Structure 1
Amino acid sequence: MKLKIPNIRLQTTIILLVCSVVILALLVTYLLIGEEVSERTQVHLEEKATNISRMVANSPVVINSMEGELPEEEIQTFAEDIREVTNVDYVVVFDMNSVRKSHPDEEKIGKTFVGGDEGEVLKGNEHVSIAKGTLGMSLRSFTPIYNSEGTNQIGAVAVGISLSSIEQAVSKSRYIIYIGILFGAVIGVIGAIFLGRRVRKILFGLEPSQIAKVLEERNKMLQSTVEGILTIDEDGKVTLANDTAKKIFREAGLKDELIGKQIDSFMPDSNLIKVIRTGVPLLDQETNLNGITLLANIVPIKVDNRVVGAISTFRDLTEIKRLAEELTGVKMYAEALRAQAHEFKNKLHVILGMVHMKSYDQLPEYINQITNHYQEEIGFIAKRIKDPILAGFVLAKMSYAREQNKNVLLSEDTLVPVPRNQEITHEIITIVGNLIDNALEAVKNAKDKKVLVSFVFDEEEECLTLEVKDKGIGMNEEKLNQVFEKGYSTKDSERGYGLHLVNESIQKLDGDVSVTSQPGKGTIFEVRIPYKSKDESDD
């Protein structure tokens, strides 16, 4: 049977750990110091007893009384005074025959000294011993007494401190250690609780298992996103890069480890350092990385209202354009079908009305007229524009314009052969589509709601000239200077990207563009791009 280990909270673990360390440290301190304190206390008492015995042995009162110059009763009085003052258990003076001259119990004066450890002092040797006397076990310090001339020993002094008194003194010394240990333990517990709460606050109240789960989820999220993610600290060093970011950097030729490197060493125009300094986010920023154009969003990382780094999410702009083109194509075909369905529905209503009015003679003529017009339009476009994708796009724009009571007319000199590189078609559609949309918007309130579109291919120069002309509101010189800027629009704030995309596509194809416009008289966009036609031998 497996034992289930309880899941102890981090704060509890820290408190238990710190308390255990403090208590263990105090216990070791007690073991190391306690015995030393006991020994020092005992040595101090031995020195005290020795000093008292020396003082009594060298006292003139004791010496003179032992020599008979003073009554022997003076010895008892003096010894008792010394005992009371010094707080020892007894001070006993005895002669060379071990006969007591003083004792706390006066009845024992004149009797022989008990203990058997006085032999050394009677030989003139000062010493300390532990022996049992009439007052029980005690520590006894012996000092010889010499006559006034100091030539002959005439007795000895024994100063005793009972072992119980010594144990009380040692216990008192240890009691101070106990107080210190208790105080240290209390401080340790308080500190442990404070540390545990502080750590818990720093970790936002999360337990280690929860932190591990959040970290794992964050890593999975970062690695699964299709956008590159890069973070730097306030010193400009890379602290995080997900797999997508590393892949993009490898494609740009940067194969070294990114973590820990200065951002300026491989992305000098990333704007990450700028965001850290200003604290202002930068959105939809184009950044060049060894020839790869990235579209990045950069946001500062703030902790306690202080910028501590920046995070950038980015994608390859080429991939974004490809997705946009796909979405634009889908939208274009949907709009074309909707416009044609609407136009067809209107014609069905006319036919239904003619049936109700029984205009059977005019009905075949009307249907033939519709059919011929439609075939002529398709035939004209198919004859002039050989690329079926571009032809379908222009046809869709014509239907869309008719639905809005406007006209998109294709010039008679239009000629577009099939391109050698099919990818150029997507860029031409971006250019033509945005220019036609702008022209249709410009003629919305004009009397002449026509937009003239022409494609002229120069086979010798291998150049395609595209012109979109309208007689709409036109633009002044100030607007002409800003017309290709990203986000600039003469309409509303949610627009202003169409002509920017047109300019980017022209630059990508190494082409050029010119704009002629007058307020109230209309605008002409002329675009020239390199264009190689597909030879029949290429099939």
Structure 2
Amino acid sequence: MKQWSLARQLLVVQVVIVGLLVAASAALAWADVADRAEESSAAEVTALAKAIAGGPTVATAVAGPDPTAVLQPYAERVRADTGVDFITIMSTDGVRYTHPNPAMIGGRFLGNTAEALAGRAFTETYTGTLGPSVRAVVPVTSMADGRVIALVSAGISVSAISAEVADRVLWLVVIAAAILLLGALATYLVSRRLRRQTGGLAPAELRRMIGYHESILHAVREGLVLVDDDHRVTLCNDGVRALLDLPADADGKRVDELGLPDALVERLLSDTEMHDELHLTDTRMLVVNSSTVHHDGRALGTVVTLRDRTDLQALTGELDTVRGFAEALRAQAHEAANRLHTVVSLVELGRPAEAVEFATGELAIAQRLTDQVVGAVAEPVLAALLLGKAADASERGVELIVAEDTEIADQGGVPARDLVTILGNLVDNAVDAAADSEGRWVRISAHSDADELVLRVADSGAGLPEDAHERVFQRGWSTKPGDSRGLGLALVGQAVRRAGGSVEVGREVGAVFTVRLPRGERA
């Protein structure tokens, strides 16, 4: 059998609780009204009996020859005026002088009189000729010597008290029913709201869904962030904490309080959806997607997913490097073919000495750059990169100059991949800038000591605008046209930050980039 939903279970429990509370309150109120009615009746008949006993009428009539003739009309008149059920005046022996039923006059009073005969008034509930009643018995004393000469009893039947209680409780029952109805209605409205919020699921189903939810959050490697309409983080999984280096108390904070990159914060605060956008942190390249969550036509917040593209970008960079090597080899092969044709032609023209001189000179020029780079750079990948960039620059008419004091004996703890990213992108940008200048040269220098490795790339280009030094390493900034530009220097900045270094931008000649990377253990 299908389990009741959480909302239905809550509705039943709340209705039962409200019903029990209202019933218990009504019962207590009923008992309180009954007690108060009985106490009120006892006080009323006591006061009435004392008033009759204290008056001169009873004492005078008792001393006369026919007490009943005087007292019966008097008692009935008082009874009619006060609304009590009976007033009985009797002798000290209990013989009635008055009674609502004249046939009972002369009979003995049914009840206790001992305390009254002792001079004390008292009340009791007793069953007499008129049925159960709450009665008071009061002594009548002689004004001369103070002795008890008669007794007065006034009473109200229990049925009359019950009728009065019933009249009072009727309103109590009506109020209790109204409270119960209002409580049930409020409970129903709460259960309806709960049903909408829980989707009508049973507790076991909710428990299972929460378990799946927690498992998915911890298992998925992609980053997941839920941001509410006030741009506060309501949920983030383990993946996004690692990708964005979020603090442990990230939940509940606004996205602009988490130390995220400015570009990503700006996009999150803009409430516009993102589709496969690239964003850089200090150590990673992330692909970001976001989607706004709506419910009942109202925006509840934003779901943001992040994928790590750092390794893929590194592989893409390595592929570009290999492609650059291939292009450089193609260019060198083309140049070698031209030189070889020249040598062959000189030999065919019978001028072997000039052929040997030409071949030797070209070989010396090429070998000198190769020997300089290989001798100065111990990392073969970095050396190959510089040779490839030199060939590419030569093909574009730009002279790539490696300073004579350049030496990179080791990377000092910086991965070769990061050095390729840094130097490769700086040289590419420098060659692009120098190709459009008059000098058409790019100069590379590097040196290291016990503390740091310093790389410097300068070009003969026009240089950077004065206001661009702070923005040059931001994703998307570029002096070149096109939407796909502005990534190279951003990757340089990221790689430098990842290594714990710094970049300085100067304008001594064209654009001058000086990279300082700490040696030893990475920061």
TM-score by length of structure 2 reads 0.61
The structure-2 alpha-carbon separation of the partners of 1:315 and 1:34, relative to structure 1 and needing over 3 Å to count, comes to same
Which of the numbers 170, 193, 201 marks the counterpart of 2:188? 193
Q: Which residue of 2 aligns with 1:421?
A: 379
The structure-2 alpha-carbon separation of the partners of 1:140 and 1:216, relative to structure 1 and needing over 3 Å to count, comes to closer
CA deviation digits over 1:69-102, x for unaligned, max 9?
9975332222112112222211111223433222
SS of 1:185's equivalent in the other structure is helix
Q: Which residue of 2 aligns with 1:361?
A: none
Task: Measure, in 2, the Cα distance between the counterparts of 1:49 and 1:179.
Answer: 31
Residues 343-362 of structure 1 aligned to structure 2 (within 5 Å): none
Task: Measure, in 2, the Cα distance between the counterparts of 1:65 and 1:168.
Answer: 35
Q: Which residue of 2 aligns with 1:45?
A: 41
Q: Which residue of 2 aligns with 1:139?
A: 134
Identity of aligned residues (%): 19
Residues 233-252 of structure 1 aligned to structure 2 (within 5 Å): 240-247=235-242
Q: Which residue of 2 aligns with 1:452?
A: 397
Of 257-266 and 421-430, deviating more is 257-266
Choose between structure 1 and 2 for higher RCO, CA contacts under 8 A separated by at least 6 residues. Answer: 2
SS of 1:160's equivalent in the other structure is strand
Q: Which residue of 2 aligns with 1:399?
A: none
Q: Which residue of 2 aligns with 1:99?
A: 95
Residue 187 of structure 1, CA deviation: 2.5
Task: Measure, in 1, the Cα distance between the counterparts of 2:37 and 2:18.
Answer: 27
Q: Which residue of 2 aligns with 1:80?
A: 76
Q: Which amino acid aligns with 1:322?
A: A
1:487 aligns with 2:476: yes
CA contact (8 A) 2:217 2:237 kept: yes
1:161 aligns with 2:156: yes
Residue 452 of structure 1, CA deviation: 3.2
Of 263-272 and 99-108, deviating more is 263-272
Task: Measure, in 2, the Cα distance between the counterparts of 1:375 and 1:133.
Answer: 135
Residue 31 of structure 1, CA deviation: 5.0
The structure-2 alpha-carbon separation of the partners of 1:462 and 1:150, relative to structure 1 and needing over 3 Å to count, comes to same
Residue 225 of structure 1, CA deviation: 4.2
Which of the numbers 311, 315, 321 marks the counterpart of 1:319? 311
Q: Which residue of 1 aligns with 2:63?
A: 67
SS of 1:190's equivalent in the other structure is helix
CA deviation digits over 1:295-342, x for unaligned, max 9?
585979999999999987667775353143256479889x98xxxxxx
Of 298-307 and 146-155, deviating more is 298-307
Task: Measure, in 1, the Cα distance between the counterparts of 2:494 and 2:90.
Answer: 126
CA contact (8 A) 1:325 1:426 kept: no
CA contact (8 A) 1:276 1:300 kept: no
SS of 2:110's equivalent in the other structure is coil
Which of the numbers 334, 343, 348 marks the counterpart of 1:377? 334
Task: Measure, in 1, the Cα distance between the counterparts of 2:252 and 2:147.
Answer: 95
Q: Where do 5+ consecutive residues of structure 1 fail to align? A: 337-372, 384-409, 440-449, 518-523, 531-539
SS of 1:156's equivalent in the other structure is strand
CA contact (8 A) 2:95 2:109 kept: no
1:112 aligns with 2:107: yes
Of 216-225 and 185-194, deviating more is 216-225
Task: Measure, in 2, the Cα distance between the counterparts of 1:297 and 1:61.
Answer: 106
Of 413-422 and 181-190, deviating more is 413-422
The structure-2 alpha-carbon separation of the partners of 1:186 and 1:272, relative to structure 1 and needing over 3 Å to count, comes to farther
Task: Measure, in 1, the Cα distance between the counterparts of 2:87 and 2:513.
Answer: 127
CA contact (8 A) 2:437 2:461 kept: no
CA contact (8 A) 1:67 1:147 kept: no
The structure-2 alpha-carbon separation of the partners of 1:122 and 1:490, relative to structure 1 and needing over 3 Å to count, comes to closer
Residue 128 of structure 1, CA deviation: 2.7
Q: Which residue of 1 aligns with 2:21?
A: 25
Q: Which residue of 1 aligns with 2:419?
A: none
The structure-2 alpha-carbon separation of the partners of 1:311 and 1:265, relative to structure 1 and needing over 3 Å to count, comes to same
Task: Measure, in 2, the Cα distance between the counterparts of 1:83 and 1:269.
Answer: 93
Task: Measure, in 1, the Cα distance between the counterparts of 2:332 and 2:461.
Answer: 41
Residue 125 of structure 1, CA deviation: 3.9
CA deviation digits over 1:266-318, x for unaligned, max 9?
96565499659965679645433xxx356585979999999999987667775
Task: Measure, in 1, the Cα distance between the counterparts of 2:196 and 2:89.
Answer: 74
Q: Which amino acid aligns with 1:377?
A: H
Q: Which residue of 2 aligns with 1:402?
A: none
CA contact (8 A) 2:231 2:269 kept: no
Task: Measure, in 2, the Cα distance between the counterparts of 1:98 and 1:209.
Answer: 77
Task: Measure, in 2, the Cα distance between the counterparts of 1:106 and 1:221.
Answer: 94
Q: Which amino acid aligns with 1:103?
A: H
Task: Measure, in 2, the Cα distance between the counterparts of 1:108 and 1:503.
Answer: 121
- Count of equivalent residues: 436
SS of 1:121's equivalent in the other structure is helix
Residues 263-302 of structure 1 aligned to structure 2 (within 5 Å): 268=259, 270-271=261-262, 284-288=278-282, 292=283, 295=286
CA contact (8 A) 1:121 1:143 kept: yes
Residues 252-263 of structure 1 aligned to structure 2 (within 5 Å): 257=248
The structure-2 alpha-carbon separation of the partners of 1:325 and 1:426, relative to structure 1 and needing over 3 Å to count, comes to farther
The structure-2 alpha-carbon separation of the partners of 1:150 and 1:489, relative to structure 1 and needing over 3 Å to count, comes to same
Residue 245 of structure 1, CA deviation: 4.4
Of 116-125 and 158-167, deviating more is 116-125
CA contact (8 A) 1:280 1:299 kept: no
Of 299-308 and 56-65, deviating more is 299-308
SS of 1:104's equivalent in the other structure is coil
The structure-2 alpha-carbon separation of the partners of 1:500 and 1:59, relative to structure 1 and needing over 3 Å to count, comes to same
CA contact (8 A) 1:42 1:170 kept: no
Q: Which amino acid aligns with 1:151?
A: G
CA deviation digits over 1:105-124, x for unaligned, max 9?
22333x22242534553454
Q: Which residue of 2 aligns with 1:15?
A: 11
CA contact (8 A) 2:472 2:478 kept: no
CA contact (8 A) 1:275 1:310 kept: no
Task: Measure, in 2, the Cα distance between the counterparts of 1:18 and 1:300.
Answer: 39
Q: Which amino acid aligns with 1:181?
A: A
CA deviation digits over 1:420-476, x for unaligned, max 9?
42443796699789x88xx9xxxxxxxxxx833655666763499995775799999
Q: Which amino acid aligns with 1:127?
A: F
The structure-2 alpha-carbon separation of the partners of 1:113 and 1:267, relative to structure 1 and needing over 3 Å to count, comes to closer
CA contact (8 A) 1:506 1:512 kept: no
Task: Measure, in 2, the Cα distance between the counterparts of 1:158 and 1:52.
Answer: 9
Task: Measure, in 2, the Cα distance between the counterparts of 1:314 and 1:275.
Answer: 16
Task: Measure, in 2, the Cα distance between the counterparts of 1:187 and 1:140.
Answer: 42
Task: Measure, in 2, the Cα distance between the counterparts of 1:268 and 1:210.
Answer: 38
CA contact (8 A) 2:140 2:152 kept: yes
Task: Measure, in 1, the Cα distance between the counterparts of 2:113 and 2:313.
Answer: 113
Of 192-201 and 450-459, deviating more is 450-459
Q: Which residue of 2 aligns with 1:444?
A: none
Q: Where do 5+ consecutive residues of structure 2 fail to align? A: 341-361, 409-422, 441-459, 517-523
Residue 221 of structure 1, CA deviation: 4.3
SS of 1:157's equivalent in the other structure is strand
SS of 2:396's equivalent in the other structure is strand
CA contact (8 A) 1:430 1:502 kept: no
Task: Measure, in 1, the Cα distance between the counterparts of 2:160 and 2:124.
Answer: 15
Task: Measure, in 2, the Cα distance between the counterparts of 1:506 and 1:52.
Answer: 105
Which of the numbers 181, 189, 193 marks the counterpart of 2:176? 181
Q: Which residue of 2 aligns with 1:56?
A: 52
The structure-2 alpha-carbon separation of the partners of 1:432 and 1:39, relative to structure 1 and needing over 3 Å to count, comes to farther
CA deviation digits over 1:160-207, x for unaligned, max 9?
322322333444454444334323322221221232234445557766
CA contact (8 A) 1:296 1:312 kept: no
Residue 374 of structure 1, CA deviation: 11
